[in-house]
């Protein structure tokens, strides 16, 4: 069995696999990434705000998503966009070799 994302998986189709990857990366971007940003930001920059915690940052990001702010959408979609970028680089690399 190969690890190629373009090959269909047993019992599923390519688009089903893509939807599963997109959904899991979106869930990660919505739920885990804001907390990771909080922890890294707290260690690198200091406190987020007076008495503000990880949930406050997550809520701020979620509200920015609802307000259609580009920065919030890029943050949340960044895991999926990273997967797509890695796939594109892999395809280009394979064509050259």
Q: State how far Cα 15 lies from the chain centre.
A: 19
Q: Is the pLDDT of residue 1 over 50?
A: no
pLDDT at 75: 95
pLDDT tens, position by position, 34-86: 999 999 999 998 888 777 889 999 999 999 999 999 999 999 999 999 999 99
Radius of gyration of the chain (CA): 17
Q: Structure pTM?
A: 0.74
Angle at 93 between CA 89 and CA 97, to 5 degrees: 175
Q: How confident is the model at residue 12 (pLDDT cuts 50, 70, 90)?
A: low
Please give the Cα distance from 14 to 8 (Å, whole number).
5
pLDDT at 11: 59
């Amino acid at each position: 069995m190969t690890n190629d994302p373009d090959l269909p998986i047993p019992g599923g189709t390519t688009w089903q696999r893509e939807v599963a990857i997109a959904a899991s990366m979106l869930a990660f971007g919505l739920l885990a990434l804001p907390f990771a940003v909080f922890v890294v930001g707290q260690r690198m920059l200091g406190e987020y705000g007076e008495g503000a915690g990880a949930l406050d940052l997550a809520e701020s990001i979620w509200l920015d998503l609802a307000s259609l702010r580009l920065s919030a959408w890029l943050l949340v979609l960044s895991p999926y966009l990273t997967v797509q970028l890695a796939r594109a680089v892999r395809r280009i690399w394979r064509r050259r070799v």
